[in-house]
Amino acid sequence: MSDAIQSFEDGLARVASSFEPAFDACTDEASLRAANARFSGPSGELTQLLKLMPSLPGDRRKALGQRANEVKRAIGAALDKRLGALAAAARAADLEGPRLDVSLPGRRTPMGRPHPITSTIEELLDGFASLGFEVKESREIELAEFNFTRLGFPPDHPATDMQDSFFVKKPDGTVDESLVLRTHTTGIQVHEMLRRKPPMAVVCAGTVYRRDDDATHSPMFHQIDGFLVDRGVTFAHLKGVLTTFLRRTFGSDVPVRFRPSYFPFVEPGGELDIGCTFCRPWVEPGTEAQLKRTAECRPCKGTSYIEVLGCGMIHPTIFEQCGVDSEEFSGFAWGMGIDRIAMLRHGIRDIRMLYENDMRFLSQG
């Protein structure tokens, strides 16, 4: 009997003295858990001892059982402590470990880009929409009547020299003089005024076509046109609204120059120029650095100004052609080329780049 007690006590003492060194010897969690299993796992030494408990004499059983449980708790505590120490050591090692090559690329979700033409159109449309203009679209293959005649210039008017047009071919191969690729977005005036009664304020942007093809002219290009018709609209309103738009778009301090010009669908007609936004001659006027910057400025060719839009009071002929009473209503209209503005904004030197869709071009910026 004393043998059983003795052997139990020996076993307990062995476990009590060996688990700590054993745990301490473990340098990772796996070996630690294995070491723990050797003591308190299902077939561990302490577990085996506990299985012997029923064979111990009743008077000693309680005391021995308490001792065994103490050892078991101590093992558990030591395990937790050692696990904590290992985790702390691992974290410390990780914090001291090799540095990440932070220069490697990010795992990105690739993002595309808008075409320079489109982003310019959107910005300009937003500018006018914020001034209360409605955004409208119109067709590109247009009746000559809408593109020319109802805008006040018949196809044999010299002003059509400025707008050499593409005509559509009839199925029999002859020229259909009644259908053209629109040469401007100005036809939106005719469409909207025929559709409803003024007052109205509309802006329209889109693709237009003229028979020109060189480094500064593309046979297909883009325009934005707008107009406002209401009672009592004056030339001063034209100047006020368009100047506000230009300042909102190109900077509140940009100088605006207004000079007469001619477009067959307006009278009086004019052009608005803004101070060159590249050499910015108004910032430090007259200084040598400024003069040099302007003299060398490519976008304004040294003139300090950039032409941005043509405008004027809507010609009475258009009102007549569209059934609007020009005694009651007056209005103004303007148009601007988008390609050149896009080219200026993005530093594009050859207009043809805009339409080649070179991935290397489109993915820039």
Partner 1 sequence: MKASVRWLNEISGIEASAETIADKLTRAGLEVEGIERFGSGLENVVVAEVRGKRPHPTKDKLSLVTVFDGERELEVVCGAPNVPAARNRVVLAKLGAVLPGGVRIEAREIAGVPSTGMLASEKELGIGLDESGILVLEGSPKIGAPIASALGLEDSVLDLNLTPNRPDALGHIGIARELSVLMHEPFAPRVRSVPSRLLSDMPVPPSGNEGIPLLEGTTSPNETINMVSGQAGGLLAIPIAIEDGVRCPRYLGLVLQRATVRPSPFWMRYRLFVLGQRTIDAIVDVTNWVLFETGHPIHAFDLDRLVGARIVVRTARSGEVLRTLDGIDRALTTDDLVVADAQKPIALAGVIGGADSAVSAATTSILLEAAYFDPRSVRRTARRHGIHTEASHRFERGMDPRALPFVARRAATLLAQVADAAPSACIVEARALKITPTTIAVEPSYFGRFLGDDVPAPEARAILEALGCEVSPAEPSGWRVTAPTHRPDLSRPEDLAEEIARVRGYDRIPSALLARTPDATPPDPRPMLIRALRRGAMAAGLFEAVSFTFLSPKDLAASRVPTESIALANPLSEERSVMRTSMLPGLLAAASRSERHQTSRVRLFELARTYAPAEATGEYGVPVRESATFAILLAGPRDRWIGEAEPVDFFDGKGALETALAAIRLELTTVPDEALEVVAPYLHPRRSARVRVAGEDVGVIGEVHPDVVEAHGLTGKPIYAELAVDSLLAIAARMGPRTVDALPRFPKVLRDLAIVVTSDVLAADVARALAVAAGGLAEDVALFDVYEGKPVPEGHKSLAFRIAYRDREATLTDVRIESVHAAVLASAEAQFGARVRA
Contacts of partner 1 in 178-237 (CB under 8 A): 179, 181, 199, 201, 207, 211, 213, 219-220, 230, 232-237
* Distance in Å, CB of 277 to partner 1, minimum: 20
For the CB of residue 50, give the shortest distance to partner 1 in the complex, in Å.
35
Residue 209 pairs in a beta bridge with 220
Query: Minimum distance between the CB of residue 85 and partner 1, rounded to whole angstroms?
Result: 37
Among 83, 143, 254, 291, binds partner 1 (CB under 8 A): 143
We find the least distance from the C-beta atom of residue 353 to partner 1, in angstroms, to be 11
The answer to whether residue 74 forms part of the interface with partner 1 (CB under 8 A) is: no
Integer Cα distance of 164 and 217 in angstroms: 12
Neighbours of 187 (CB within 10 A): 26
Which candidate, 117, 108, 194, places its Cα nearest to that of 151? 194
* Sequence-ordered list of residues with C-beta below 8 angstroms from that of 262, at least 6 positions apart, any chain: 159, 269
Q: How many CB atoms lie within 10 A of CB 121?
A: 20
> What residue type is 178 in one-letter code?
S
Give the shortest CB-219-to-partner 1 separation in angstroms. Answer: 6
Cβ closest to partner 1, residue 84 vs residue 132: 132
For residues 210 and 175, give the distance between their C-alpha atoms in angstroms, rounded to a whole number. 16
Least distance in Å: CB of 61 to partner 1?
A: 43
Q: Which is nearer to partner 1, 11 or 316 (CB)?
A: 316
Question: Which residue from 18, 31, 244, 277 is in contact with partner 1, where contact means CB under 8 A?
Answer: 244
Alpha-helix residue ranges (DSSP H) falling in 96-179: 116-129, 144-147
Closest to 343 measured CA to CA, from 330, 334, 352 = 352
Choose, by CB under 8 A, the member of 250, 258, 278, 282 that binds partner 1: 258
- Name which of 205 and 279 has its Cβ closer to partner 1: 205
Within 10 A of 328 (CB to CB), how many other CB atoms are there?
A: 12
Q: How many CB atoms lie within 10 A of CB 71?
A: 22
Q: Sketch the per residue contact string, 291 through 320, with partner 1: x for CB under 8 A, - otherwise.
A: ----------------------x-xx----
In the complex, the smallest distance separating the C-beta of residue 252 from partner 1, rounded to whole angstroms, is 14
Q: Which is nearer to partner 1, 118 or 277 (CB)?
A: 118
Sign, CA dihedral 13-17-20-25, equals negative
Residues 146-185 that bind partner 1 (CB under 8 A): 146, 156-159, 161-162, 166-171, 174-176, 179, 181
The span of 5-13, 40-48, 101-109, 292-300 binding partner 1 (CB under 8 A) equals 101-109
CB of 89 to partner 1, least distance (A): 32
The answer to whether residue 345 forms part of the interface with partner 1 (CB under 8 A) is: no
The reply on whether position 110 binds partner 1 by CB under 8 A is: yes
Q: What is the DSSP letter of 355?
A: G
Among 33, 60, 67, 257, binds partner 1 (CB under 8 A): 257
Tell me if 150 sits within 8 A of 318, measured CB to CB. yes
Q: Return d(Cα 337, Cα 314) in angstroms, integer.
A: 19
**Cα dist. 155→18, 121, 146, 333 in Å?**
108, 29, 11, 21
